[in-house]
A and B are shown apart, each in its own frame.
Chain A
Amino acid sequence: MYTEYCIDIPNSKFIGDPTEGVALNLEVLSFLGDVDRRTGTIVSEDTKARGHQVKDRILIVKKFRGSTVGVYVLYSLCKNGLAPKAVICGEPDPVIVAGIVLCSITGVFKVPETIMEQIKNGDRIRIEPLKNGARICIA
């Protein structure tokens, strides 16, 4: 048995389907350079998640950076069954949105940093759309 608590985030933006999975917190991320396209492993130290796999995880990303080619990396991960289940972040980065749309994975945008900080690495979380936002439930 476990208890679950949910946070409603009005005015956030939800795309894709409701989903659940294990959270992976990232301080910063560029799919190009920070993720190995062939294995889905995080390779950069300053992401604070080096060595973790993105496959089937729900990525909680504080900040995106750099390359506009990251979309191809995410696309490649999807084609090879290595993609994350969802991405949760603050202001939407058009590069990441393009990858999420192409991959048909779930995205939750405009999530305040204070809420992202409540989700710990390894937490099992569930995300679903609300009429005007999104709900994140943490087990």
Chain B
Amino acid sequence: MHLDRIDEKMLNGEYGEAKKLALKILVSIGETLGAERLIPISHAHISGVSYFNIGDDGLEFLEDMLIKGAKTTVFTTANPYSIAIHENYSKYYDSSIVEKQKRIVDILIKIGIAPNSFTCIPYKIRKPFYGEHVAWAESSAVIYGNSILGVYTNRESGISALMASIVGKTYYYGMHIDENRKAQEYIIVEEDIRTISLASILGLYVGRIARGVPFIDVNMPVENAVYKELIIRSLLASIATTSDLPLVIVKNASPITIHRDVDTRLLERVRVDMKELRVFIEEKCGNVLFLGCPHMTVNEAEFVLNTIDFKEITKLGIEKILIATPIQNYNKSSKRVEGDIEIEYIPGVCPVVSNLVEMGIDSVTTIHGKAYHYLPKLSGVKSCILNIV
């Protein structure tokens, strides 16, 4: 791989241990992938923040990077942390878990991660320009960034995104190259998608069947721009859950410049019958409804709450709505009651990456494909999708 003089000095340790290790890791990954050079980035977003996900070894890795002098050199955001340090819920967890989760957040802030981030929608903290090269981990942010915002990012791992933040560069490979950002197959959805829930089950299915970057021919006849964005966000996050796709092209949603050079008539066609997928929609599940996977801003969440029929979900057994949001401008949780249902905002938190069994929860209802997939695997609870919004 071609390295400039500064990179060479960095590899020789002239800029300290942390930069040396960070660049060494990036070069090793880049060379394995066949990258010929590095490319400067303007924004890094790291994953691997929940103690339940990274454990003691991950915490020690971050401690070690801090001791070595790790410091971000570009704007860097981070994923949400677990619910174990939330003021209303820390009582359910062993004090050592709470302390370790706090320590992870503390280390990341010391390294230079924006303290107001801790969200899986970093584009709401700083909206990137079209065509910006970034190094994002968090699969749902990667796919949304490439597909809708027109940024250039690979699906970085939590560690390589941190290394890219420390160096200010990443390997020039994959999604950083226009040639690789073209549709390879054509997926036709034979039903209009009008709800977040249906977008979720469609996304989970598309991720399973896609064999390359798909052009998704789907109609989402929804006038409200906030609602439409939430539908697209959940569709893409779900695709990224069941695949390793960093990019899809969504008809009338992706920037036209991404697919202007592709003659979609020549692509292999796959038809999706939503009737077959509706079996994944259930009638009834847990009494907790979780919204915000990916995170919703408070305005987006309030829109969703205004759209939900509270009488209907009360009949379905919902007693509480938990909403995960970014911290920005809203770093205190808030609770209110509407009808018989308690609504609680949990800023900076992701319940999906938290052990919810400790809180006495055994099943969670959601509208998001990503949460549906990961809740049983990571939180230990049953999950289901209701088509309520």
Contacts and interface: CB of A to CB of B under 8 A. Distances in A.
B57 A79 contact: yes
A120 B191 CA distance: 40
Interface string A60-102: 0001111111111101100110000000000011110111111
Interface residues of B, number: 39
Interface in B101-145: 137-139, 142
Contact of A95 (B53, B157, B243, B373): B157
A98 B155 contact: no
A95 B47 CA distance: 11
Contact of A63 (B34, B173, B243): B243
A107 interface: yes
Given A65-B243, A72-B159, A34 B25 contact: no
A99 B32 contact: no
Nearest to B59: A72
A121 interface: no
Contacts of A15: 32
B377 interface: yes
B15 interface: no
A87 to B, nearest CB: 12
A98 B157 contact: yes
B159 A66 contact: no
B139 A66 contact: yes
Given A63-B243, A75-B61, A76-B58, A69 B25 contact: no
B61 to A, nearest CB: 7
B213 to A, nearest CB: 12
Nearest to A68: B137
Interface string B42-80: 000001101001110110010000000000000000000
Contact of B244 (A38, A63, A71, A73): A63
Nearest to A75: B57
Contacts of A67: 47, 139, 374
A28 B174 CA distance: 21
Contacts of A72: 48, 53-55, 57-58, 61, 158-159
Interface in B333-378: 373-374, 377-378
Contacts of B154: 94
B156 interface: yes
B244 A99 contact: no
A93 B139 CA distance: 12
A119 B56 CA distance: 35
B166 to A, nearest CB: 14
A32 interface: yes
A28 to B, nearest CB: 8
Nearest to A99: B157
Contacts of B254: none
B367 to A, nearest CB: 19
Interface in A8-52: 13, 15, 28, 32-34, 37-38, 43-44
A68 B29 contact: no
Contact of B47 (A38, A68, A101, A102): A68
7 contacts: A32-B53, A33-B377, A34-B377, A68-B155, A71-B160, A80-B57, A95-B155
Interface of B: 25, 28-29, 32-34, 47-48, 50, 53-55, 57-58, 61, 137-139, 142, 154-161, 173-174, 207, 240-244, 373-374, 377-378
